Structure 1
Amino acid sequence: MKTARIVSLATAVPPHVISQADAASFATSAFGGRFDGFEQVAGVFMTSGIRRRHAVRPIDWYMQPLGWPERSAAYVEGACALFIDAARQALGKAGLKALDIDTVVTVSSTGITTPSLDARVAGEMGFKTGVERVPVFGLGCAGGVSGLSIAARLAQSRPGSNVLLVAVETCTLSFRSDQLTKANVVATALFGDGAAALVLRADEGGLAEIESTAQYTWPDTLDIMGWSVDAEGLGVIFDRSIPPFAEEHFGPAARLMLERSGLSLGDIDRFVCHPGGAKVVTALERALSLPQGLLADERAVLEEYGNMSAPTVFFVLERAFAKGLPKRTLMTAMGPGFSAATATLLAA
């Protein structure tokens, strides 16, 4: 059976740019004088490794009183625009039209809409009426790699069919001036919005072959990362410090996931990791016994775009493709659950 291959990859960001200095000023206005612990956590704006990020709304919008309806409307409008932008670019690079797509896998965890995003954009995109829609919710930052696994299996099950994977997140809509918590301040320092789209097909050629995929969920870790839901919208949950957890636990999990495919870390020529934050990137280097500073593309993406959740790892992969993949690349991401996802890619 032919394995699935990545035929094309494209990324997109919304028009509004928020500098880290502006984000810090926003946080000071929103939390300073109201949250006793703000001064202790405010240093994250300097240590996050982020210079700027993109958002679906200008920064002044987030200072207004906002509830679930306003945030949901912004999610639908912003996520649909990002979906269309990234998907059209990916289709163009693959030499395809929307009518050529047989299956659409949409990964998004930063908003809720029914009908789902793929249905909302179907008319403007020009998808055929028989397109198979697979919306995926709740995977968070691991959604890019996990979504790739889902899309690859669907492509492999129907050789020659075209599968479009779109990961789109509007993380900035979780900026909450009403929640006086350390986690909320950290989210304000980290999050950005963006999208990535890939075309996959079980055929010859392409940019890379998807050799294997795997997931791992740590027991009793539901409190590490997630969303709270209330009348004001989605609120971020960071109940444990993720960098030390990653440094201690990610390495053994990555080895176990690779072993399922008869591989080891020694077989990996390059790493493409989701950059959740500067400290997370450093923790991953230590967990994987990599030279300090090796994950330079991860740091560069984080600096320019912030943590966009699921699509971020594809921004890193896009840079890896531009430089040329070595024989075998390991993609990794961690997300709520608390879980990890990996995929190994072979150079085309």
Structure 2
Amino acid sequence: MTMASPDHSPVYLNAIGTAVPDHDIHAAFIGWARERLPERERKLFDRMAARAAIHHRWSVLPASAGSPVGEGGFYAGAIHPGTAARMSLYAEAAPSLALAAVERLAEQVATTGVTHLVVASCTGFVAPGIDQIIARRLNLSPSVERTLIGFMGCYAAVAALRTARHIVRSQPEARVLVITVELSTLHLQAVDEIEPLLAMLQFGDGAAAALVSAEPRGLALGQPFATTLAASDQLIRWDITDTGFAMHLSGEVPGRIAGALADPTLVAQITDGRAAGEIDAWAVHAGGRSILDAVEHALALGPTALSESRAVLVDNGNMSSATLMFVLARILARESVEHGVALAFGPGLAAEGFAFGPSA
């Protein structure tokens, strides 16, 4: 696998630090959601919740109330908080969670001398942006070059790392701090339909921070790829409403992904021309068990090929753009990787990713 063209130095994902809040809201959500459904649909919801293979989802919402949907919780009232209240919470909690991830990163690699900051987030808006807030709290130089990637959804980590790679390829002395931070639990919707409730069942909060540079440490970042599936733009959506962002995740998504991966041309693009079985590290966005199953079956992967992705899903649920970074963090802990592929799906319906390999 070619990690760099003759005209460019190699680029490396040196290390990743991850962070989640300390409030587990998964069980409380299930109890709340099933009570909103007619009796005939509760059994189906219970089966789907059990099948989701998610044990924990973490939230920045205060744990002091016990549950966000319980008495005294953020969503306790008959009318849920408006978008302004949710964005006010985002402005405080998103930078704090991001900084916790940077602290975990700093335990692994020096975070001094940062020249560029790339931040991805799709669960909130604030101006000045969280990139500026984070830069100020980290005491980064006022001259640090900032890029804020917003509202791209679950594959935004790919866009962020791809941007960092482009920067280092053009400026080999650059040290790029990449942050993904998502607070999905700020967007609970008071619906009584099973499909949106099952969509909300997937999502939790999390943040990751990575250092990308020309230093040969970690994983070499290879060629990126991107594609958009035809006639699929309504399958994954975030709709901005007066009560937060409403997620629409169609049950057709796994089937459409499996159908796309049946195309040998697309698979060759994803694997850099190798057979899927030759890839020894798959970092697939843990968007849900059915999505991971679709990828595994479509590519005829072995039963342990997506073990890192499945472990992230069990422990954290889907954290939108931060999820892929959590998977890559687990892969970085491996002893060796020869040929890796990162792959994520999101609104569009689009698939984006990149090749990666050993640092030497």
Same fold (TM over 0.5): yes
**Displacement, 1:108?**
0.5
The alignment partner of 1:43 has SS state of helix
Letter in 2 for 1:237: H
In 1, Cα distance between equivalents of 2:266 and 2:195: 27
Q: Which moved more, 1:311-320 or 1:288-297?
A: 288-297
**Equivalent of 2:92, from 56, 73, 77?**
77
Contact persistence 1:8–1:91 (CA under 8 A): no
Distance 1:161 1:92 in 2: 20
SS of alignment partner, residue 162 of structure 2 = helix
| Corresponding residue of 2:283 | 272
Output one character per residue of 1:219-242: Cα deviation in whole Å (capped at 9) or x when no partner. 221101011111111001123421
| Structure 1 Cα separation of the partners of residues 224 and 242 of structure 2 | 37
TM-score (norm 1): 0.91
The Cα offsets for residues 94-126 of structure 1, whole Å up to 9 and x where unpaired, read as 2132xx111111111111122111111222111
Deviations 1:47-72 (A, max 9, x none): 11101111111432233321111111
User: 1:12 is matched by which residue type in structure 2?
Assistant: A
Deviates more, 1:138-147 or 1:189-198: 138-147
- Given candidates 333, 347, 353, the residue that maps to 1:336 is 347
Per-residue deviation, 1:213: 0.8
Q: Which runs of 4 or more aligned residues in structure 1 lie more than 6 Å from their structure 2 counterparts after TM superposition? A: none
1:264 CA displacement: 4.8
Where does the alignment leave 5 or more consecutive residues of structure 2 unmatched? Answer: 1-7, 69-73
The partner residue of 1:46 within 43, 50, 53 is 50
Structure holding more helix per residue: 1
Indicate the larger mover: 297-306 or 62-71.
62-71
Which residue of structure 1 aligns with residue 83 of structure 2?
68
Name the CA shift for 1:141/1:14 in 2 (closer, same or farther; >3 Å). Answer: same
Question: Which deviations, in whole Å up to 9, do the C-alpha atoms of 1:202-225 show, x marking residues without a partner?
Answer: 23x210111211111112211010
Q: Does 1:281 align with 2:292?
A: yes
Superposition RMSD on alpha carbons, in Å? 2.0
Deviation of the 1:82 alpha carbon: 1.2
1:207-222 matches, within 5 Å, as 207-222=218-233
Contact 2:173 2:213 in 1 (8 A): yes
Distance 1:255 1:312 in 2: 22
Candidates 125, 138, 160, aligned match of 2:151: 138
**Residue 12 (1) aligns with residue 19 (2):** yes
Matching residue's letter, 2:30: A
Q: Single out whichever of 266-275 and 144-153 deviates more from structure 2.
A: 266-275
Within 2, Cα distance between the matches of 1:307 and 1:6? 22
Secondary structure at the residue paired with 1:93? coil
Question: Do structure 1's residue 22 and structure 2's residue 21 form an aligned pair?
Answer: no
**Match of 2:329, as an amino acid?**
E
Larger deviation, residues 327-336 vs 291-300: 291-300
Deviates more, 1:67-76 or 1:290-299: 290-299
Residues 38/185 of structure 1: CA separation in 2 closer, same or farther (3 Å cut):
farther
Q: Is the 8 A contact 2:253 2:291 kept in 1?
A: yes
Matched, 1:249 2:260: yes
Determine the C-alpha separation between the residues in 2 that align with 1:330 and 1:46. 29
Structure 1 residue matching 2:296: 3-state secondary structure: helix
- CA distance, structure 2, for counterparts of residue 325 and residue 150 of structure 1: 25
Does 2:124 correspond to 1:117? no
Q: How much has 1:32 moved relative to structure 2? A: 3.5
Q: What one-letter code is carried by the residue in structure 2 that aligns with 1:111?
A: G
Partner residue, 1:197: 209
Partner deviation per Cα, 1:171-203 (whole Å, 9 max, x = no partner): 1112111x3333320133111100111100123
The amino acid that maps onto 1:23 is F
Alpha-carbon distance between aligned partners in 2 of 1:72 and 1:111, rounded to the nearest angstrom: 6
Deviations 1:20-53 (A, max 9, x none): 4322112134x235x9855544432211110111
Retained in 1: the 8 A contact 2:15–2:329?
Answer: no
C-alpha contact (below 8 Å) 2:119/2:148 kept by paired residues: yes
| 1:158–1:202 CA contact under 8 A, matched in 2 | no
Whichever residue aligns with residue 246 of structure 1, its letter is I
Instruction: Call closer, same or farther: CA 1:88–1:254 in 2, change over 3 Å.
Output: farther
Instruction: Please say if residues 146 and 215 of structure 1, whose CA atoms lie closer than 8 Å, have aligned partners that are also in contact.
Output: no
CA distance in 2, matches of 1:122, 1:291: 42
When residues 139 and 280 of structure 1 are mapped into structure 2, their CA distance, relative to the original with a 3 A threshold, is same
The 1-side partners of 2:336 and 2:150 are apart by 30
Deviations, residues 62-90 of structure 1 (Å, cap 9, x unaligned): 33321111111121222111111112332
CA distance in 2, matches of 1:207, 1:103: 19
Structure 1 unmatched runs, 5+: none
Q: Is the 8 A contact 2:56 2:316 kept in 1?
A: yes
CA contact (8 A) 1:5 1:201 kept: yes
% identical equivalent positions:
26
